[in-house]
Structure 1
Amino acid sequence: MRVSSPLSAEQLERIKADVWHKYETEASRPLSVAIMGQTGAGKSSLLNVLFGADLPTGDIRPVTKAPEAITLPVNISGKGGHSLTFWDMPGIGESVLADADYLAMYREKLTACDVVIWALHSDNRSTTYEAMCLRRILEGDDDAALVNKLTFAMTKVDLLTPPSWIFALHGGSGVFAPGARLAAKLSDKALHYEEVFIRPFASLLTASTYNPGGFAVSDERLTFDDYTVRHRGYVSEAVCADYQSRYPEDADVFARLRDNHRVLACSALFRFNLAQLLVAVVNKLGVGATARFRRLLGEAEHLAEVPVDTMRGLGNFLIWDGVRKLLDLSDPAVPPTL
């Protein structure tokens, strides 16, 4: 038997350099993310909070009339890398004439971008037109590739009151969280949107997440390697629960696969669930994206923090007995414990 001679130190160094070069090439590959959806869904506000941008926003009429680019510098292992580009798109629903141009623009950006966040206004029961627009955008031979780029966010959930929101105070800041009844309401609304916007594409869907190590589930719908676990098909709530009951030791893996096809409730105003949305976007981009998003992910834990002074300005109740003011949350004289 012929035994191969060991590699020389020089050959090993060349192999290591080649591997590192490939890693840096992947980590530095230009990435782009777009945000789409109906006018008034809070797309610009969401990008402003997520990425510290300063896009103009408006409560009365649409402000974004053309794609707006946000460019973030990325530092990879102490070296300069490519930037990340986020595209704020005009909202559909302004007019039939404008939408004809916007849908073609959406199709072009969806094809070009790595991931698209589709913003769904939480306080909206009329979904037929928006669902029709999405179907028109996805028509074509590459519809499977395009639909798997989408991450759906249910925006402006701060409007879904009552029941109440909770502000958990910690010193000079705090975080917003829904009470039990409101959390159930958000879950029901998100599942409804999932039925309308995601389930119709069930046969085209795939899901993926990182492999934490030791994953070895044998299933015709699952494939995996040392780095990634992939699922072929729609990971519904029921599918996830079934996997988790059969393989409880891998419950976290199946929860992350489920997140690929979940509508995520969030609020730019209350900074609610923004970290989960950011992680979902990174998960969609794949294993190599972690290096490119290291700075953003490192800041994600602080996304939910709202200063008390800011919180006071978000209160919309003034209690008045007809003679005197009993409580005004925006009044600095009112202690934060009230």
Structure 2
Amino acid sequence: MKNKEGQQSLQDSLTGLPEWASERIMQQIRQLTNYEPAIGIMGKTGAGKSSLCNALFASEVSPVSDVMACTREPLRFRLQVGERFMTLVDLPGVGESDARDNEYAALYRDQLPRLDLVLWLIKADDRALVTDEHFYQQVIGEAYRHKVLFVISQSDKAEPGSGGDKLSTEQKQNISHKICLLHELFQPVHPVCAISVRLQWGVRVMAERMIRCLPREASSSVVAQLQHSFRTDAVNKKARDDFGETVGSVLDTVSSMPLIPAPIRAIIQAARDTVVSVARAVWSFFF
């Protein structure tokens, strides 16, 4: 019901445009509101991929199985909250087998163009990163670096581990050193995150950073899948602004179509700010 109200409000904001232009804009907005994001999650065995996904997302994610070890086709999990869908793609971690790493390179090159983001989990106590660095430089490369968010997982296992219910000062210092090391090794586009799902430490910050790393068209649909506790004001604002800007881009695209008469182009451009404002205002009706 709210979805229809939101669409009607956006339709009303397009009053004054030719019917063909209004319909084309609404068609693209409907595609936006139904966008199904795809997020890859990679990491070596035991990095905590399924634990993180279950902590982040509202719908249940099936545990990661060992099928990945014997197939080049990654496991895919479709999440659903209400009428919203999202896909998680379980990607294999590198550095466990030279033979498999060659297979994985082909798999990644095939998958990367289709993914909105890759969460690359590296265990806090993992020191064998040479293969990861090589893989990142050679396979991810310049073309897809912006799609990778590094996450130091299982921070509660950082030295000196105690098994307690909170991180020690020494552990936090070692995690800070690990973050610096990953920045030196990988020179990532996005700041490295550190989390402990067991202690519920750092996950909210990581969720917010994930939303900031996503392309504009994907952020709202991912926010709709998050656990309620991670849908903070900052997260919702980012997604709402992204949605408004993406709707604005739709109007820009239509107004710049060839053969559009200058007066029609002027009408579309004049309506842009109003339509963007309405899109932000009705964002919660969709997401």
Q: Which amino acid aligns with 1:276?
A: V
For 1:159, the equivalent position in structure 2 comes to 157
**Is the 1:36–1:88 contact (alpha carbons within 8 Å) kept by the matching residues of 2?**
yes
Among 33, 36, 56, which residue is 1:30 paired with? 36
Going from structure 1 to structure 2, the CA distance change for 1:194 and 1:97 (only over 3 Å counts) comes to same
Going from structure 1 to structure 2, the CA distance change for 1:150 and 1:193 (only over 3 Å counts) comes to same
2:136 pairs with 1:134: yes
Q: If the length of structure 2 is used for normalisation, what is the TM-score?
A: 0.63
CA RMSD of aligned residues (A): 3.0
For 2:114, the equivalent position in structure 1 comes to 112
2:223 pairs with 1:294: yes
Going from structure 1 to structure 2, the CA distance change for 1:147 and 1:195 (only over 3 Å counts) comes to same
For 2:48, the equivalent position in structure 1 comes to 42
Tell me the distance in 2 between the aligned counterparts of 1:296 and 1:107: 27
1:138-157 deviation digits (Å, cap 9, x = unpaired):
3xxxx433111111001111
Give 3-state SS (helix, strand or coil) of 2:46's partner.
Answer: coil
For 2:254, the equivalent position in structure 1 comes to none
Tell me the distance in 2 between the aligned counterparts of 1:27 and 1:302: 18
Give 3-state SS (helix, strand or coil) of 1:125's partner.
Answer: coil
Give 3-state SS (helix, strand or coil) of 1:30's partner.
Answer: coil
For 1:54, the equivalent position in structure 2 comes to 62
For 2:186, the equivalent position in structure 1 comes to 197
Tell me the distance in 2 between the aligned counterparts of 1:34 and 1:72: 13
For 1:122, the equivalent position in structure 2 comes to 124
For 1:72, the equivalent position in structure 2 comes to 79
1:30-50 deviation digits (Å, cap 9, x = unpaired):
321101233332223322332
**Is the 1:39–1:92 contact (alpha carbons within 8 Å) kept by the matching residues of 2?**
no
For 2:214, the equivalent position in structure 1 comes to 285
1:132-171 deviation digits (Å, cap 9, x = unpaired):
1222213xxxx4331111110011111014376874xxxx
**Is the 1:43–1:119 contact (alpha carbons within 8 Å) kept by the matching residues of 2?**
yes
**Is the 1:38–1:130 contact (alpha carbons within 8 Å) kept by the matching residues of 2?**
no
Structure ranking higher on relative contact order (CA contacts 8 Å, 6+ apart):
2
For 1:276, the equivalent position in structure 2 comes to 205
For 1:221, the equivalent position in structure 2 comes to none
Tell me the distance in 2 between the aligned counterparts of 1:21 and 1:179: 53
2:193 pairs with 1:186: no
**Is the 1:153–1:263 contact (alpha carbons within 8 Å) kept by the matching residues of 2?**
yes
Tell me the distance in 2 between the aligned counterparts of 1:29 and 1:12: 25
Q: Which has the higher strand share?
A: 1
Structure 1: gaps (5+ residues): 1-8, 168-176, 200-204, 206-260, 304-338
1:53-74 deviation digits (Å, cap 9, x = unpaired):
12146xxxx6642421111125
For 2:267, the equivalent position in structure 1 comes to none
Q: Which of the pair has more CA radius of gyration?
A: 1
Q: Which amino acid aligns with 1:23?
A: I
Q: Which amino acid aligns with 1:263?
A: V
Give 3-state SS (helix, strand or coil) of 2:171's partner.
Answer: helix
Q: If the length of structure 1 is used for normalisation, what is the TM-score?
A: 0.55
Q: Which has the higher helix share?
A: 2
Give 3-state SS (helix, strand or coil) of 2:29's partner.
Answer: helix
Going from structure 1 to structure 2, the CA distance change for 1:34 and 1:42 (only over 3 Å counts) comes to same
Give 3-state SS (helix, strand or coil) of 1:152's partner.
Answer: strand
Q: Which amino acid aligns with 1:160?
A: A
For 1:149, the equivalent position in structure 2 comes to 147
Tell me the distance in 2 between the aligned counterparts of 1:294 and 1:147: 22
Going from structure 1 to structure 2, the CA distance change for 1:97 and 1:40 (only over 3 Å counts) comes to same
